[in-house]
Amino acid sequence: MTDGVPQAAETSGAESELSNFRGKQYWLRGVVLLVALNALFLAVVVTWVYFDSGAPSRSSPFLNKFRWWSQPWGVYVPAVADALGAGASQGAAMLGVLLSCFSLLLVILSLKGVRNAGELVLPIFAGAIGIGWLLLGVNWDVIRLRGQSMELARHVEGVSEFARQLEEEWPDQDGEIEGFGAFLGYPYGTPRTLLMLGEACVPKTELRIAAVERTPGESIRFQLSGGSSDVWFEWRVVENAPASFAGGLQQNYSPKASFMVADKLFLVRYALSGPEPSGSL
């Protein structure tokens, strides 16, 4: 009888150890699954932002929901928000921060029970995914713009040729440019802005344009129409990067992201930094 007690204790200890081992295995499998899904989601979102022309940009209502000032705790993080960017870009930045925090949680969970250096692979991978989310959030506009540059690359030659033509023959009043369309010039007498009337395409291309802005001796800018109204093709007379400018409609624009697509030609995402349009011209 007494010999059976140690045997029972040993059996009970072995069963407990086996149960703990199985529990750890189930825990680890769950964490691995969450990390894998997180990595897959990151890859899908990056691919979507880069390649899909319908992916939300800086002005997306989806991203606006993540603006820091719309959150109950937003009033406590103005410095962080300012560091991440201005306007609706903060929406993408905050989305990246939130998913980075989720990845950090996975890192903490995956560290449970780590006994040797070989078991650190999973936490390190989870941490790398978190960094990836943060980089995606902060660079959302740039990634989206690079993707759009691939779509618009076929228009480079036509835009450059037409920009040179406008730089040499810029109109001084309302009128019509053959092959381009009718326009209104602002301000009156010395226009810097050509506001297109109806649908207009850059000659020899299918690139639809809403307006053209000119900074004399510096650049010609073509504002894309449709859902890409914050994206501009900019042909630079001088060889430097796009900068803030004042439009002919008394609006101030600041570049949020830019990408050089050809010599002197940039794709730029501008944001209004001055008076909003009045709605009547």
Regarding whether 185 and 68 lie in a shared domain, the answer is no
Regarding whether 174 and 263 lie in a shared domain, the answer is yes
Question: CB–CB of 173/185 below 8 Å?
Answer: yes
The answer as to whether 278 is a domain residue is: no
Q: Which residue, of 138, 163, 184, is where some domain finishes?
A: 138
The pLDDT tens digits for 19-53 are 554 555 666 777 788 888 888 888 888 887 777 65
Regarding whether 85 and 12 lie in a shared domain, the answer is yes
- The per-residue pLDDT for 36 is 86
Regarding whether 156 and 261 lie in a shared domain, the answer is yes
Regarding whether 247 and 134 lie in a shared domain, the answer is no
The answer as to whether 281 is a domain residue is: no
Question: CB–CB of 210/229 below 8 Å?
Answer: yes
Regarding whether 129 and 175 lie in a shared domain, the answer is no
- The per-residue pLDDT for 118 is 63
Regarding whether 174 and 130 lie in a shared domain, the answer is no
d(CA 3, CA 9): 11
d(CA 10, CA 8): 5
Total number of domains in the chain: 2
The pLDDT tens digits for 107-139 are 887 777 666 666 678 888 888 888 888 888 777
Regarding whether 246 and 201 lie in a shared domain, the answer is yes
Regarding whether 126 and 162 lie in a shared domain, the answer is no
Question: CB–CB of 257/145 below 8 Å?
Answer: yes
DSSP the chain: -TTHHHHHHHHHHHHHHHHHHHHHHHHHHHHHHHHHHHHHHHHHHHHHHHH-TTS--TT-HHHHTT-GGGSTTGGG-HHHHHHH-STTHHHHHHHHHHHHHHHHHHHHHHTTT--SGGGGHHHHHHHHHHHHHHHHHHTHHHHHHHHHHHHHGGGHHHHHHHHHHHHHS--SSSEEETTTEEEEEESTTS-SEEEEEEEEE-TTS--EEEEEEEETTTEEEEEE-GGGTTEEEEEESSSS----EE-TTS-EEEEEEEEEEETTEEEEEEEE-SPPP-S--
pTM above 0.85, yes or no: no
The answer as to whether 280 is a domain residue is: no
Q: How confident is the model at residue 281 (pLDDT cuts 50, 70, 90)?
A: very low
Structural domain boundaries, residue 35? 4-138
247 CB burial (10 A radius; 0-12, 13-18, 19+): buried
- The per-residue pLDDT for 32 is 81
Q: Which residue, of 138, 164, 181, is where some domain finishes?
A: 138
The answer as to whether 146 is a domain residue is: no
The answer as to whether 183 is a domain residue is: yes
Mean pLDDT across the chain, nearest whole number? Answer: 75
The answer as to whether 144 is a domain residue is: no
Regarding whether 57 and 33 lie in a shared domain, the answer is yes
The answer as to whether 190 is a domain residue is: yes
Regarding whether 239 and 122 lie in a shared domain, the answer is no
The pLDDT tens digits for 205-217 are 888 999 999 988 8
Q: Which residue, of 103, 138, 173, is where some domain finishes?
A: 138
Regarding whether 170 and 72 lie in a shared domain, the answer is no
The answer as to whether 110 is a domain residue is: yes
